Chain A
Amino acid sequence: MEYKLIKLEKIQEFINSLIATGKQVLAPKQKKEKVFFSLIHSFEEIAMDYIQTAFSAKSAVFPKCEELYTFEKNGKETILNNPQAPENDTIVFGMRPCDGAAFDYLATFFLKENPDYHFKMRYDNTIFVGLTCSSGDEFCFCSSVGISPSDTRGSDLMLTKTENGYYVEIITEKGKKLVEQFANFFEQIEQIDKTKYVANIQKRFDSSALKEKISGAFDWERWEETSLPCFGCGTCAFSCPTCTCFDIQDEANLLGGTRYRIWDTCALGIFTKHASGHNPREKQSERWRNRILHKFLYTDEQFGILSCVGCGRCIRNCPAELSIIEQVNAITEG
Chain B
Amino acid sequence: MSDLINKTSQFFSSGIIDLFIGYKKGRLGEGKPAFFTKPDQLSELIFDENCIVNLAVYLRKPELKKYSKIGILANFGTLRALLQLAAENQITDGQYLILTVADGKVLEFANLKAIEEYVANNLPKPNPERLALLKEIESKSREERWDFWTRELSSCIRCYACRAACPLCYCEQCLVECNQPQWVGVPPTGLGNLEWHIVRAMHLAGRCISCGECEAACPMEIPLGLLTQKLNMTIISNFGQIPGTKREPDYALSTFKVDDKENFIR
Query: Hey, which bits of chain A sit against chain B, CB under 8 A?
Result: 31-34, 36, 54-55, 64-65, 138, 224-225, 227-229, 231-235, 238-239, 247, 249, 251, 260, 262-263, 265, 268, 270, 282-285, 317, 319-321
- Contact of B158 with A by CB under 8 A: yes
Q: How far is the CB of A137 from chain B (nearest CB, A)?
A: 10
Q: Are A262 and B187 in contact (CB under 8 A)?
A: yes
Task: Knowing A262-B186, A284-B61, A320-B53, say if A238 contacts B221 (CB, 8 Å).
Answer: no
Task: Knowing A54-B219, A231-B57, A251-B187, say if A263 contacts B157 (CB, 8 Å).
Answer: yes
Q: Are A65 and B188 in contact (CB under 8 A)?
A: yes
Nearest B residue to A31, CB-CB:
B221
Residues of A within 8 A of B219 (CB): 54-55, 235, 238-239, 317
A/B interface sample: 15 pairs, CB < 8 A: A33-B221, A54-B219, A225-B37, A233-B159, A233-B161, A233-B164, A270-B177, A282-B62, A283-B62, A283-B63, A284-B63, A319-B216, A319-B217, A321-B26, A321-B33
Q: Give residues of chain B (216-234) contacting chain A, Cβ–Cβ below 8 Å.
A: 216-217, 219-221
Query: Hey, which bits of chain B sit against chain A, CB under 8 A?
Result: 26-27, 32-35, 37, 53, 57-58, 61-63, 155, 157-161, 164-165, 177, 185-189, 213, 216-217, 219-221
Q: How far is the CB of B246 from chain A (nearest CB, A)?
A: 25
Task: Knowing A229-B34, A283-B61, say if A34 contacts B221 (CB, 8 Å).
Answer: yes
Complex Cα spacing A247 to B177, Å: 12
Residues of B within 8 A of A229 (CB): 32-35, 58
Tell me which of A65, A234, A283 contacts B189 (CB under 8 A): A65
Q: Which one of B161, B213, B217 has the highest number of Cβ atoms from chain A below 10 Å of its Cβ?
A: B161
Q: How far is the CB of A261 from chain B (nearest CB, A)?
A: 9
Q: Are A321 and B32 in contact (CB under 8 A)?
A: yes
Task: Knowing A225-B35, A321-B27, say if A234 contacts B159 (CB, 8 Å).
Answer: yes
Residues of A within 8 A of B177 (CB): 270
Tell me which of B53, B63, B158 contacts A228 (CB under 8 A): B63
Task: Knowing A234-B161, A235-B219, A238-B159, say if A320 contacts B63 (CB, 8 Å).
Answer: no
Q: How far is the CB of B17 from chain A (nearest CB, A)?
A: 15
- Main DSSP-derived SS at the B contact region: loop
Nearest A residue to B189, CB-CB:
A65
Task: Knowing A232-B164, A262-B158, say if A249 contacts B187 (CB, 8 Å).
Answer: yes
Complex Cα spacing A263 to B160, Å: 12
Residues of B within 8 A of A36 (CB): 220
Complex Cα spacing A33 to B58, Å: 27
Residues of A within 8 A of B188 (CB): 64-65, 262-263
Q: How far is the CB of A192 from chain B (nearest CB, A)?
A: 35
Q: Are B32 and A233 in contact (CB under 8 A)?
A: no
Residues of A within 8 A of B63 (CB): 224, 227-228, 283-285
Q: How far is the CB of A92 from chain B (nearest CB, A)?
A: 18
Complex Cα spacing A36 to B62, Å: 35
Residues of A within 8 A of B26 (CB): 321
Q: Are A64 and B157 in contact (CB under 8 A)?
A: yes
Q: How far is the CB of A214 from chain B (nearest CB, A)?
A: 22
Residues of A within 8 A of B61 (CB): 228, 231, 283-284
Tell me which of B32, B37, B58 contacts A231 (CB under 8 A): B58
Complex Cα spacing A83 to B26, Å: 46
Task: Knowing A262-B158, A270-B177, say if A320 contacts B32 (CB, 8 Å).
Answer: yes
Q: How far is the CB of A82 from chain B (nearest CB, A)?
A: 18
Residues of B within 8 A of A265 (CB): 159
Q: Are B165 and A231 in contact (CB under 8 A)?
A: yes
Residues of A within 8 A of B62 (CB): 282-283
Residues of A within 8 A of B32 (CB): 229, 320-321
Residues of A within 8 A of B27 (CB): 138, 321
Residues of A within 8 A of B186 (CB): 247, 249, 262
